[in-house]
Structure 1
Amino acid sequence: MVAWYDPGVLAKTGLKSLLSETIGRQADRRLLDAVARPQPLAFDYSEDGDGKAREELWLDYVSDLGDGWDSTYAVASAVMAPTLEVRDATGQVHHTEGGDVLVFGGDEVYPTASVEEYQARTVVPYEDALNDRRHRPHLFAVPGNHDWYDGLVSFTRLFCQGRRSRGWQTRQQRSYFALKLPHGWWLLGTDMQLESDLDASQVEFFRKVAAQMGSDDRVILCNAEPAWIKQQVKPHAGRGFLDNNIDFLEQRILGKRVSVFLAGDLHHYRRHENTEGRQKIVAGGGGAFLHPTHLPRVDTRPDGFVLKECFPSQKTSRELTWRNLLFPAINPWFAAFMGFVYALLGWGVAANLNEGAVSAPPLREVLSAALQSTGSLLVAAGTLLGAIAFADDRRGKAWQKVSGGVHGAAHLVVALLLTWGVSSVAAPLASELQWSLRRDFLSGLLLFGGGALVGPLVVGVYLLLSLNVFSCHPNEAFSSLAIPDWKNFLRLHFDKDGELTVYPVGLRRVPRRWQHGHSPEEPVWVPDPRDHRATPPALIEPPVVIGRSKAPPLTLGTGQLAPALVTQDEQPPAGPV
């Protein structure tokens, strides 16, 4: 799994994110591809190779993959199986088949996009999982923010040039697409990763696709992130007037034709349903670290969608957060970094106190020495500002400053107490060991070691309290844990009666040990039978069956229409519509 608190990974990912955001705003690749890369309005899977209407189709949806091998490969192995028997909570066994179509729902690689990372973390696991077990599925991919970190260059090379690998065959030419499925079903994949917005060419593309739909056709809309949750959890980050094309697409072009909303970005399973039977499903369990499910404001939606199931349960999610008390052991490189910071905070102070010291100095003398040390004060200011910048702003800027200030102050107090303790033991310990470098070197060593233990522990306690008490830092509190388990994907079946059945498949604990398969009809790697704790794929909840019925007329939701796409005949009245 990616070590997200490794200082090197943090620096590299932050730089790539900054470059992507800066360059992307100046040159939107989607606009160039719309001109240079023609693509059919829809890839037709409603008919077979002989031109006859398909009676049924299996399709797999996997999102947020390409992180750790164990997690990504375990999901890939289940997805690429010719058939998969999965049990539900009652013990009933359901027969499913590997999809002819495979959809990646966003963030196909971590931590940043590059040809090498895609190859190692995404391509090879799926090639080894398929081997010669069945035919290669047709792959369509939705880009997420991590795919955009190199300006979508590697994503385009891998998924948008008709390339074949031993694991799949690609067909799309742009970063968005439309699939025509049997019995009037459609699947639309968007690219909304530049400030959570769709460019005008993309929305016009989907307008033309919608014009090909019948009045009773149904749509599965795949976005890289669940806007219905993002806006609820982080209300202060609402979209502005220029960033509302996704609303325009959902409300004005597609309307209630959308029976199913699919998204990743949050690395767990969560399903909301309204009284009309429409579904909003987050299934971001393709391989990335687990995200928490116990954020209180995502349970009931203001537009009538109610939480039906989540995986893992909220109780389990809350319990998993306590693993942050093991932060120093789980994140050793970050622990080393914190040891260095604590050494910078206290070494100069300890050195001044060591001169002529014959006994332990009082705490007030340590505080006085710290306030007189210019170097320590500069590092302290950097620590405080860094903690404020790190703090979650979902409760507003004032909350960010207060919580970050408390976190930074906790580090400074702990560092002061550690310096006091080191100053008290350095002199007699150095004398007893008869070290030639004596107290200053020993003080620095003790400060580094103590800081490497208590510094990350302060961070872990801060993240634990932030999430379990104040519902903040869900990403940071679980990326620190790099949990490879609780994975999931969706298997969709369009049957001969036109019904869609969604099978939410979960893997409670992925294997940690593997051995070579014995034949081409097996994956290249199979779970080691000695790994007794690994669990087989099983249904997270009973299959979700969605019938076909005539869509209601298009209605407008709240918010203003995208101005670039409103024609003279569609001018909205003054004020919100």
Structure 2
Amino acid sequence: MRLRPAMVGWYNPPRLLAIAVRVAISTVFGEFADRREALATSRPIDPSAIEPNLDYSLESVDSDFWLDFMADTGDGWNSTYAVARLLAEPDLKVRGTNEPLMRGRILVMGGDEVYPTASRDGYRDRIVAPFSEASVGKFDPQNPPHLYAVPGNHDWYDGLLAFLGLFCRRRNASAWADARPGRGLGGWTTQQTRSYFALKLPHGWWLWGADIQLTGYIDQPQIDFFSHVAREWMEPGSRLILCTGQPSWAYVDVNEPEPQFTNFSYLESLAGLARKKHRLCAVLTGDSHHYSRFLEGDRHYITSGGGGAFLHPTHQLEDKTFKWPYPPPGVEPVAGQKYHRRFHLVRDEHTRQATVFPDHKTSRRLAWRNLIFAALNWQYTATVAILYAFFTWLVSAQGAYLGTSLQAALAPEPLPPFVGSVQTYLSFALISPWPTALILTSIAGYYYLADFPSYWRLVIGLLHGTIQAAVVLIATCLLARWLPTMPVALFIVAAGLAGGVLSATTLGVYLLLSLNKFGKHWDEAFSALRIQDYKSFLRLRIGPDGRLKIYPIGLKSVPREPEKGQLRKPPLHPHLIEGPIEIH
């Protein structure tokens, strides 16, 4: 039996290096050889009418039509498997509502289906395996529910190759090839032929799934496809659910909204073509691994990225208001006019607390785990310890060249505490080019890390680097005073260990303060924690009257399964995060 994968260690230096290489390669590939354009050529779509496989409009006309949305899965086994178990249940009993919530006829995955990078093995071990385990005995193989997926940036890290093999295997018959069915993923079967799709739902509802690649870029064939769907296939006044790869409304810098908001704004304009009177009702996404909901007018912008990846915080979220040269969806543009885009974080009308999961208080409390960053990310700590030991060896060699030892040189002097020792240490370090080069490299790294705008990035980066150097320097001086007779080799090891632990702890404090005080480094701070709990997904219901209800379902705690052996399948306790959200 294969080991069940643990949560990805994002501060494991070899893994970070491998991810960086894959990101660089995929970025270049995406710019010079976009696979989506090749797919549009090799898998043409009939322009006259929507494909029957993608038309659900005649299903459940006189009853409820259910569909599910989840995003950001395929990280650790425990979290992915727990969400898969909930999705696989034929009907789900959820605390907060008395009505049973039926399993969706369709499951839509909203991006980042595997972590840390896409590969056939990664998909097999981190998503296919847990979904298959969760599906045993839950589905009718003669009438399986359908599965659609939009790729996220992690799915693009192999140029979309593994994603296409898993989710886009189905092929229509042509003069050149026979029809081919989709692939099974647990109890679901894939239906799409490209990385984007349009689904016709009952009662005038449509669902679009858009592929925004790595940087939000939408290729021209995809633009042509959705434009054609909006003009030719959708009846005037159709209502639309849009699934996209990231919450641009939450990420946008209100002082400089371009280019971050540009691609999403253009996608919105396609969805809400004013001349056809289509109505964009809801935008669903992941990428942020939590639940939140923003409102602009009567449009709901929902992030539900709790499908199995590590938890992201919520207490950095805030309302976003900025000027934009193009109108909101469904509004005819006026030449030369600018429009205010106002995205309001939904709050409880009684408590005025944001309806997010986890709540702000819990999110802020969880951030304090960064104080034990060194223990939670021991691979990073060990790597930094080795680097500090190497640096101490270089400085010690410089002292030996000058006829003394580092320990003797850092002995107590008549000056104020540490002043003489600091001066001596710095003179040893800066007299040789190699230690100096390491110092400059570390300063550049802290500058690059700083998630602050322009001038403040330099200030924060230098301040962080200075504190890191001061902490390690003081620790080395203390060791020299406390252990003056220790053999040089052991002293170098001790200095490296002390430096690694203190440097990693200092980084954790930096991340904690940046997030809790300034709302920065929310990704870096929580990826360090690898929290498996606080999962979420959406269950949607279109009633016979055409009304849409969205049920945001949360799971506070994920059971811990052993790496090997029989699955225990302890009971799960899902609850309704808010709502249900009703859209007419």
TM interval, shorter chain, is 0.7 to 0.9
What is the rounded CA distance, in whole Å, between the counterparts of 2:251 and 2:62 in structure 1? 37
1:543 maps onto 2:580 in alignment: yes
State the 1:233 CA deviation. 6.7
Q: 1:321 aligns with which of 367, 374, 379?
A: 367
SS at 1:222 equivalent = strand
What is the rounded CA distance, in whole Å, between the counterparts of 2:428 and 2:369 in structure 1? 36
List aligned pairs for 1:86-125, cutoff 5 A: 86-88=94-96, 92-125=97-130
Residue identity matched to 2:208: L
Q: 1:418 aligns with which of 472, 475, 495?
A: 475
1:273 maps onto 2:295 in alignment: yes
Q: 1:513 aligns with which of 543, 561, 570?
A: 561
SS at 1:94 equivalent = coil
Q: 1:380 to 1:304 in 2, by over 3 A?
A: closer
CA contact (8 A) 1:197 1:246 kept: no
Which residue pairs with 1:550 in the alignment?
Answer: none
What is the rounded CA distance, in whole Å, between the counterparts of 1:355 and 1:113 in structure 2? 48
What is the rounded CA distance, in whole Å, between the counterparts of 1:240 and 1:472 in structure 2? 19
SS at 1:504 equivalent = strand
Which residue pairs with 1:385 in the alignment?
Answer: 444
Which consecutive residues of structure 2, in runs of 5 or more, have no partner in the other structure? Answer: 1-6, 171-181, 323-339, 347-354, 413-419
Q: 1:227 aligns with which of 245, 248, 252?
A: 248
1:360 maps onto 2:411 in alignment: yes
Q: 1:545 to 1:366 in 2, by over 3 A?
A: same
Which consecutive residues of structure 1, in runs of 5 or more, have no partner in the other structure? Answer: 431-438, 518-523, 530-534, 548-577
Per-residue CA deviation, residues 211-255 of structure 1 (Å, 9 max, x unaligned), is: 222223200000011121121478466249789642542454787
CA contact (8 A) 1:360 1:425 kept: no
Aligned sequence identity (%): 42
What is the rounded CA distance, in whole Å, between the counterparts of 1:485 and 1:371 in structure 2? 47
SS at 1:202 equivalent = helix
CA contact (8 A) 2:392 2:496 kept: no
CA contact (8 A) 2:310 2:530 kept: yes
What is the rounded CA distance, in whole Å, between the counterparts of 1:350 and 1:256 in structure 2? 72
Q: 1:215 aligns with which of 228, 236, 239?
A: 236
What is the rounded CA distance, in whole Å, between the counterparts of 1:516 and 1:134 in structure 2? 25
What is the rounded CA distance, in whole Å, between the counterparts of 2:564 and 2:507 in structure 1? 41
State the 1:377 CA deviation. 1.3
Residue identity matched to 1:109: V
CA contact (8 A) 1:44 1:181 kept: yes
CA contact (8 A) 2:218 2:263 kept: no
Q: 2:378 aligns with which of 332, 335, 341?
A: 332
What is the rounded CA distance, in whole Å, between the counterparts of 1:539 and 1:259 in structure 2? 21
Q: 1:492 to 1:514 in 2, by over 3 A?
A: farther
CA contact (8 A) 1:129 1:525 kept: no
State the 1:457 CA deviation. 0.4
SS at 1:411 equivalent = helix
What is the rounded CA distance, in whole Å, between the counterparts of 2:520 and 2:306 in structure 1? 21
Which residue pairs with 1:343 in the alignment?
Answer: 389
Residue identity matched to 2:57: S
CA contact (8 A) 2:410 2:480 kept: no
Which residue pairs with 2:44 in the alignment?
Answer: 38
SS at 2:252 equivalent = helix
What is the rounded CA distance, in whole Å, between the counterparts of 2:262 and 2:242 in structure 1? 22
State the 1:455 CA deviation. 1.1
Q: 1:356 to 1:493 in 2, by over 3 A?
A: closer
CA contact (8 A) 1:195 1:243 kept: no
Q: 1:21 to 1:54 in 2, by over 3 A?
A: farther
Over aligned residue pairs, what C-alpha RMSD do you find? Answer: 2.4
CA contact (8 A) 2:71 2:111 kept: yes
Q: 1:234 to 1:299 in 2, by over 3 A?
A: closer
Q: 1:239 to 1:305 in 2, by over 3 A?
A: closer
Residue identity matched to 1:164: R
What is the rounded CA distance, in whole Å, between the counterparts of 2:309 and 2:221 in structure 1? 31
Q: How many residues align?
A: 518
Q: 1:457 to 1:348 in 2, by over 3 A?
A: same
SS at 2:341 equivalent = coil
What is the rounded CA distance, in whole Å, between the counterparts of 2:263 and 2:361 in structure 1? 39
1:527 maps onto 2:546 in alignment: no
SS at 2:540 equivalent = strand
TM-score computed with the length of structure 2 as normaliser: 0.84
What is the rounded CA distance, in whole Å, between the counterparts of 1:98 and 1:516 in structure 2? 29
1:291 maps onto 2:312 in alignment: yes
Which residue pairs with 1:257 in the alignment?
Answer: 279
What is the rounded CA distance, in whole Å, between the counterparts of 2:268 and 2:436 in structure 1? 49
Q: 1:244 to 1:30 in 2, by over 3 A?
A: farther
Which residue pairs with 1:569 in the alignment?
Answer: none
